[in-house]
Structures are given as C-alpha cells and as structure tokens.
C-alpha cells in the first residue's frame, strides 16, 4: 500500500492522461457485448476509466491509494463510484458488473493473491459479462531481469515483484473462469517517440450461464 501511495504522491499522473490503447479496445468489446456497468480494480487516477465514462458507461473503481483517488476526483468529479482499499479485500459491494477491466495489476500479485482476484472478479460478473485483464508478458524486455524469486517471477531494481504471463499460465489461472481468448499485446500499439513499447497479454473471459 505504501509503495503506491508514495508513488502517486511523488509522481502524480505518472502515466499521463490518455487511456491505454487496450482500454479503447475494451470499450469496443464492452459495447459489442451490451455491457453497461463496469468495474475497474486498480483504478489509479482514472485515465482508463474516462473512455468508459465518456461513452455513457457506469463505472466503479477500486483503488488502494488515497492520493490517486483524490487526483481522479479532481479530474473527473463524482462521475464514478470508487472504493478505497486493496483488491484482496474484494468484494466491496454486492453489485454484479457487466464488464471488468483490470489493467497492469495482476502481475504485481503473488499466486494466492492472483487466484483470489480472478475468482472474486468472476463472482461479481453478471451473466454473459466480460472481464478483460492486461498483464505483463514473458515477451517483455523485463523478463529475466532482476532477482528471480520463483518461476517467471522477478524482483526489479526498484523492489517491485513482477509475475510474467504466457498462454500456458493464463490457461492455468483463468481457464476455470470462462477464458475465451488469449492474445499477446503491445502497449502502446503504435511506436511513439520517447515512449518504450511494453509487451502485455490480453486475457478475455466471459461468464458462462450454462449449468
């Protein structure tokens, strides 16, 4: 908790104000699926939420940093609901959501925390709802760098622990929760000056309504 609070306090809007390319893709997937109520675990200061808000979707966030929540409210007012707390304390409400968008969060968790987050998100997904996770890929340049803690898990020079996904680990962790697609993903999608491209995995799940 303290790491993220100090990061947002020191760096403020550290990723800029434009949404990630994957958030724009998620918007189209949600619209095509008829999703209206969206949950964003790891809300940050709301840069990825804005594209959903601008398109008339009802957004609820979960965010551990009070500074990030304050920044989000300064930029977007009270156009969303946000729960202050860690994602491992889910659920924060009894709502079911048509869509869940989780960007660059799950790879910061250990195996038990990842399992809990996936299960808790799936349990809050409405029938036929979609959940979309963007997580760091083994194809990323950071894979294998730093101190190896466990298989595919490395501690960076800044003390951040990262778990790197591939299709096998995505199927293992998300398979029981309606996994329908896995894709390697580059962020940003286009090459931009002074903005290094990162390799992510896009993991797409759908709530199965069959018995």
Digitized pLDDT (tens) for each residue of the chain, 211 residues in all: 454 445 544 454 544 557 889 999 999 999 999 999 999 999 988 889 999 999 999 999 999 988 888 888 888 788 889 999 999 999 999 999 999 999 999 999 999 999 999 999 999 999 999 999 999 999 999 999 999 999 999 998 888 899 999 999 999 999 999 999 999 998 876 555 555 688 999 999 999 865 4
Tokens of 101: 């968008």
CA separation for the pair 101, 134 (Å, rounded) = 8
Backbone angles phi, psi at 139, to 5 degrees: -80, -10
Architecture of domain 3-9+17-207: 3-Layer(aba) Sandwich (3.40)
Q: Are the C-beta atoms of 161 and 114 separated by less than 8 Å?
A: no
pTM for this prediction: 0.88
Angle between helices 2-11 and 66-76 (to 10 degrees): 40
DSSP state of 87: G
Positive or negative CA dihedral for 12, 132, 134, 26?
A: negative
Label the pairing between strands 97-103 and 125-136. Answer: parallel
Contact 158, 147 (CB under 8 A): no
């Amino acid at each position: 908790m303290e790491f993220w609070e100090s990061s947002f306090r020191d760096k403020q809007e550290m990723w800029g104000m434009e949404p990630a390319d994957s958030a724009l893709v998620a918007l189209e997937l949600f619209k095509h699926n008829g999703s209206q109520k969206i949950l964003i675990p790891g809300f940050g200061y709301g840069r990825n939420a804005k594209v959903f808000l601008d398109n008339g979707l009802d957004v609820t966030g979960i965010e551990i940093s009070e500074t990030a929540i304050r920044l989000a409210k300064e930029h977007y007012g009270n156009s969303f609901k946000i729960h202050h707390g860690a994602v491992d304390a889910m659920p924060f409400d009894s709502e079911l959501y048509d869509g869940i968008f989780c960007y660059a969060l799950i790879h910061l968790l250990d195996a038990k925390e990842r399992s809990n987050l996936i299960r808790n998100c799936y349990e809050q997904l409405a029938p036929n709802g979609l959940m979309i996770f963007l997580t760091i890929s083994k194809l990323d340049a950071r894979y294998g760098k730093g101190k190896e803690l466990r298989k595919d898990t490395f501690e960076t020079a800044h003390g951040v622990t990262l778990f790197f996904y591939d299709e096998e680990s995505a199927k293992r962790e998300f398979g029981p929760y309606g996994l329908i697609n896995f894709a390697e993903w580059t962020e940003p999608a286009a090459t931009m000056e002074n903005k290094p491209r990162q390799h992510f995995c896009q993991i797409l799940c759908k709530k199965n309504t069959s018995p």
